[in-house]
RNA sequence: GCCGGUGUAGCUCAGUUGGCCAGAGCAGCUGAUUUGUAAUCAGCGGGUCGGCGGUUCGAAUCCGUCCACCGGCUCCA
């Protein structure tokens, strides 16, 4: 007998060799039908794998993230089985579960492709195979046999994978007519997969290396119930409506023009308003915290970026040098503001008493992003950073860094980004050739960030290889409508640029010392921040950010003078308000104001003129009834 | 940059296997209507069918190439 401990602390005895599925059956038959996999001593196992010792056991179903992962991973095998049937000779590589579904990377061989038109027949095949209720059978296999198996199939990808595995640690899984190198676990049988949707097909490099073969990646998602697929489809439709590219056009915030160039956004009046409000908000906070605004030009001599190291690192892949009429004179579009700010620091000799020096600029920079990377306002070639560089003494670093964390948190809280990931981006552990500066400085910088994040009680994840070439970063990641993660705020510690620019201050000892730099941008870039803001709010901005806060809607021409009066009152109180004087019915004016997502829609007609009131309609809510203008002003003030 | 897809009026889209002057709705303009909580009615104007080159008696439709956009991959100072 073995003692099985459940998550609630209960302990029950079972025969040795009991499986998760057996345990589920002993509890309830309906539960047994839902079990996807089982967590045994904190390791996820097949539900039918035998348990030989005392263990803590948690049965995993569709409700558990790990249960979903098992389900989707098994679905990837099902996809592979279908592809094997439909595309003979296809070579399989890897097919993992992801956050929202699964994919399989395959090599179809020369000249063959999969298109979205092919999806229905693949989905049909998958469901057909699923209905066979095939079990996933696990088998241990020796390294030699595993290699022989795939050599015979001519699958160099699998043999490469196997070469990296330990003998005795290799397992195959077989369901129906498909066998795959796989460590598992899998769901009890394919019949649990009731609904399948292939979502897209894309190229993906083998092992993520662009120098190696490009494989075909087929993405999909699957569900244990058809109704869940419908729900998923509905959510995808909803997400499309939040897309900042669509809303940006609809709300007349920004635009792109082929004639101006790819990735070069044009800010329309309303988008500019929104952006200015955000800038004003941050500038005010920064003023309170001792930042000083500076301004620098959009270009600088090539030499500036040779000093900073940017030219050596990115010169080839950037906008190319700008020539002048003078021979040999070369300028570059600025890719970063920091070199300019270093030169500002060098305009005087600073006393330690004057540090930290916090220089801030909404600086527009230009980077030649790869064409395939451009994406609405999320990834552009000309963008404005809410940049600042803090020059401080080494013993001020930690305190300053923590202050910046507070500022980023203030920004995120005020803008409603409750969900974010704080990521500590460190050097690549193997390849250090990508970075400038000494190991010693990197160590100090990385430790400072880890310490500051810990002191602030931030929950962080560490990502190696994500650092900037001159220093490590603390990045704040937020997701867009399509669940993709983007870096917004960033704080970086830099010992290297002060050295390269030979920055100095005079210490209490009357000696010259080298300051440390903090690069920081709470928004990151105005463009990206605003795109994520649009998607998070679905364009329903809080009142203080809305480009148009109110629109007065006269019932007919007769009431335009009164509407103008109301509009003037609002303007006197610094609200952004307009009057819709078009010769249209009130229903139409309300509709158009709603499409533009104007928060306060103020209807005025005979009754309102008589009572000296306005009929308030709050977008997203509806009719609030008529109130006096003073009451309206109070209502709006309370919302600011 | 790579893989796959898309590109018709300001916007959303129709346009059969290549075949008369390329269509609709919305938006715009003009006029009528003077309106009470998500689209009033009528008339009018508007398109080098993404660009360039080719095949053909004939190309929005077929081929090539470039550009832009979409989803991934790689990259992201």
A546 touches strand B (CB under 7 A): no
Mean pLDDT of A210-229: 95
The CATH number corresponding to A66-238 among 3.30.980.10, 3.40.50.170, 3.20.20.370, 3.40.50.261 equals 3.30.980.10
* Mean pLDDT taken over chain A: 95
Q: Which nucleotides of B are covered by protein (CB under 7 A)?
A: 1-5, 11, 32-40, 67-77
Mean pLDDT of A247-268: 95
List b or e across A494-526, with b for residues whose CB sees 16 or more CB atoms inside 10 angstroms: bbbbbebbebbbeeeeeeebebbbbbbbbbbbb
Q: Above 90 in pLDDT, residue A314? A: yes
Task: Single out the catalytic residue among A180, A386, A387, A494.
Answer: A387
A342 touches strand B (CB under 7 A): no
Distance A550 CA to B4 C1' (A): 45
A245 is catalytic: no
Helices (DSSP H) in A315-370: which residue ranges? 338-345
Q: Above 90 in pLDDT, residue A608? A: yes
pLDDT score recorded for residue A111: 75
Which of A 238-267 have CB under 7 A of nucleic chain B? 245, 249, 256, 258, 261-263
A587 touches strand B (CB under 7 A): yes
A115 touches strand B (CB under 7 A): yes
Distance A585 CA to B32 C1' (A): 14
For residue A226, give the 3-state DSSP assignment.
helix
Q: List the CATH code of the domain at A279-292+334-537.
A: 3.30.930.10
Mean pLDDT of A488-513: 97
SS (H, E, C) A271-312: HHHHHHHHHHHHHHHHHHCCCEECCCCCEEEHHHHHHHCHHH
Using CA atoms, how far apart are residues A396 and A387, in angstroms rounded to an integer? 20
Q: Above 80 in pLDDT, residue A110? A: no
The CATH number corresponding to A2-61 among 1.20.120.450, 3.10.20.30, 3.30.230.70, 3.40.220.10 equals 3.10.20.30
CB-CB contact of A491 with A503 (8 Å): no
A102 touches strand B (CB under 7 A): no
Q: What is the DSSP letter of A47?
A: T
Q: Which nucleotide in the DNA or RNA is closest to residue A601, CA to C1'?
A: B37
pLDDT more than 70, % of chain A: 100
Which of A 198-217 have CB under 7 A of nucleic chain B? 200-205, 208-210, 214, 216-217
CB-CB contact of A488 with A524 (8 Å): yes
Which of A 212-241 have CB under 7 A of nucleic chain B? 214, 216-217, 219
Distance A116 CA to B57 C1' (A): 38
Q: Show me where the domains of chain A are located.
A: 2-61, 66-238, 279-292+334-537, 550-639
Q: What residues contact residue A304 under an 8 Å CB cut-off, 6+ apart?
A: A332, A339, A340, A343
pLDDT score recorded for residue A269: 96
The two tokens of residue A254 are 């920004």
pLDDT score recorded for residue A430: 87
Kind plus residue range of the DSSP H or E element containing A139: strand A137-140
Cα-trace Rg, chain A: 30
Helices (DSSP H) in A173-292: which residue ranges? 226-242, 244-250, 269-288
- Per residue in A200-210, pLDDT tens? 999 999 999 99
| Complex ipTM | 0.95
A367 is catalytic: yes
Mean pLDDT of A121-128: 95
Is domain A550-639 given the CATH code 3.30.460.10 in the classification?
A: no
pLDDT score recorded for residue A115: 86
A392 is catalytic: no
């Amino acid at each position: 007998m073995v003692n099985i401990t459940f998550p609630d602390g209960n302990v029950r005895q079972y025969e040795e060799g009991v499986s998760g599925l057996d345990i589920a059956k002993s509890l309830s038959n309906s539960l047994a039908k839902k079990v996807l996999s089982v967590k045994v001593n904190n390791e996820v196992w097949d539900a039918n794998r035998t348990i030989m010792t005392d263990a803590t056991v948690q049965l995993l179903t569709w409700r558990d993230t790990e249960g979903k992962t098992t389900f989707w991973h098994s679905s990837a095998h099902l996809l592979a089985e279908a592809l094997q049937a439909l595309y003979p000779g296809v070579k399989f590589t890897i097919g993992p579960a992801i956050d929202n579904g699964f994919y399989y990377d395959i090599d179809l061989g020369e000249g063959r492709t999969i298109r979205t038109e092919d999806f229905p027949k693949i989905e049909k095949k998958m469901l057909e195979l699923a209905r066979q209720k095939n079990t996933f059978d696990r088998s241990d296999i020796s390294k030699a046999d595993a290699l022989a198996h795939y050599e015979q199939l001519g699958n160099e990808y699998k043999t490469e994978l196997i070469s990296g595995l330990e003998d005795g640690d290799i397992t195959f899984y077989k369901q129906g007519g498909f066998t795959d190198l796989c460590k598992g676990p899998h769901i009890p049988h394919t019949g649990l997969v009731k609904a399948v949707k292939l979502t897209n097909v894309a190229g993906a490099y083998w092992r993520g290396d662009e120098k190696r073969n490009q494989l075909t990646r087929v993405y999909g998602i699957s569900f244990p119930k058809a109704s869940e697929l419908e729900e998923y489809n509905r959510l995808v439709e909803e997400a499309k409506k939040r897309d900042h590219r669509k809303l940006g056009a609809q709300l007349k915030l920004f635009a792109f023009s082929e004639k101006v160039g790819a990735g070069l956004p044009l800010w329309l009046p309303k988008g500019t308003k929104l952006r200015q409000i955000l800038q004003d908000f941050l500038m005010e906070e920064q003023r309170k915290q001792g930042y000083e605004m500076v301004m620098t030009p959009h270009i600088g001599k090539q030499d500036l970026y040779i000093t900073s190291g940017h030219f050596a690192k990115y010169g080839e892949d950037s906008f190319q040098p700008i020539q002048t009429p003078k021979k040999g004179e070369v300028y570059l579009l600025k890719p970063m503001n920091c070199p300019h700010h270093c030169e500002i620091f060098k305009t005087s000799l600073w006393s330690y008493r004057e540090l930290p020096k916090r220089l801030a600029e909404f600086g527009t920079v230009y980077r030649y992003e790869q064409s395939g990377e451009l994406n609405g306002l999320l990834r552009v070639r000309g963008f404005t950073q809410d940049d600042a560089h803090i020059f401080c003494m080494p013993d001020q670093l930690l305190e300053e860094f923590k202050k910046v964390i507070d500022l980023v948190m203030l920004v995120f809280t005020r803008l409603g980004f409750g969900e974010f990931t704080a990521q500590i981006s460190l050097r690549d552990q193997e390849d250090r050739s990508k970075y400038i500066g000494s190991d010693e400085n990197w160590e100090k910088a990385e430790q400072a960030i880890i310490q500051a994040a810990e002191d602030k009680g931030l929950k962080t994840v560490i990502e190696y290889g994500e650092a900037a070439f001159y220093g490590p970063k603390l990045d704040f990641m937020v997701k867009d409508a399509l669940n993709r993660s983007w870096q917004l705020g960033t704080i970086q510690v830099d010992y290297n640029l002060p050295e390269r620019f030979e920055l100095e201050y005079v210490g209490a000892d009357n000696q010259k010392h080298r300051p440390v730099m903090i690069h920081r941008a709470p928004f990151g870039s105005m463009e990206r921040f605003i795109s994520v803001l649009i998607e998070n709010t679905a364009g329903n901005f809080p009142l203080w950010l809305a480009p148009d806060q109110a629109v007065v809607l006269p019932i007919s021409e007769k009431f335009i003078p009164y509407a103008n009066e109301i509009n003037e009152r609002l303007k006197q109180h610094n609200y952004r308000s307009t009057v819709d004087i078009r010769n249209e019915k009130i229903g139409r004016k309300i509709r158009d104001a709603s499409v533009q997502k104007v928060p306060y829609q103020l209807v005025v007609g005979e009754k309102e003129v008589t009572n000296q009131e306005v009929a308030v309609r709050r977008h997203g809510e509806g009719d609030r009834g008529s109130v006096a203008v003073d009451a309206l002003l109070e209502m709006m003030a309370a919302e600011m």
